[in-house]
Amino acid sequence: MADMNLAEIREQFVDIDFDVTTFTVDQQKMIDWAVACGETEPRFVDPSHDDFQAHPTFMAQYSSTRLLPKDFPEIGDGRGVDGGKSIETFAPVRPGDTLTGHAQVHDVYDKTGRSGTMVFIVHRMIFENQHGDHVSTVDWRMIRPIGN
């Protein structure tokens, strides 16, 4: 795929909401997530703790109803590999919070290595709580090989 095409894709799709989804935070799921992560700090596993909140990685479990915008171009054969997630936490997430997740394509770029050229699509979810506070941003990288 030529750089020009990636530039056009970025210009058309990057940092524009294509899906908005609402989630309600469940206390038991918060605890289960923290325990599964091996967390022992009371503020993440004990609901009676004064500062009980979701583990910083908790937001990685939420996703939009669509992975990409409806008219996003097909890249490669449409299959991909999970390239991992990165999570930024800005404010605590509490039980019962109503979170709104805004899905965006945050970036599209290519890399060439020993196995050929791959396109990375960064899917971003920006989460706000019911008070309008930005609580977290989760980036997920999809890797799609393209023909060489």
pTM of the model: 0.89
Q: Which domains does the chain have, with CATH numbers?
A: 3-26+65-145 (3.10.129)
Instruction: Give the tens place of pLDDT for each residue, 30-48.
Output: 999 999 999 999 999 999 9
Average pLDDT value for residue range 42-60 = 97
- 148 pLDDT band (50/70/90 cuts)? low
List, for residues 116-130, the tens digit of each pLDDT value: 889 999 999 999 999
SS3 string, the chain, reads CCHHHHHHHHHHHECCCCEEEEEECCHHHHHHHHHHCCCCCHHHHCCCCCCCCCCCCHHHHCCCCCCCCCCCCCCCCCCCEEEEEEEEECCCCCCCCEEEEEEEEEEEEEEEECCEEEEEEEEEEEEECCCCCEEEEEEEEEEEECCC
Q: What would the pLDDT profile of 7-22 be if each residue is shown by its tens digit? A: 999 999 999 999 999 9
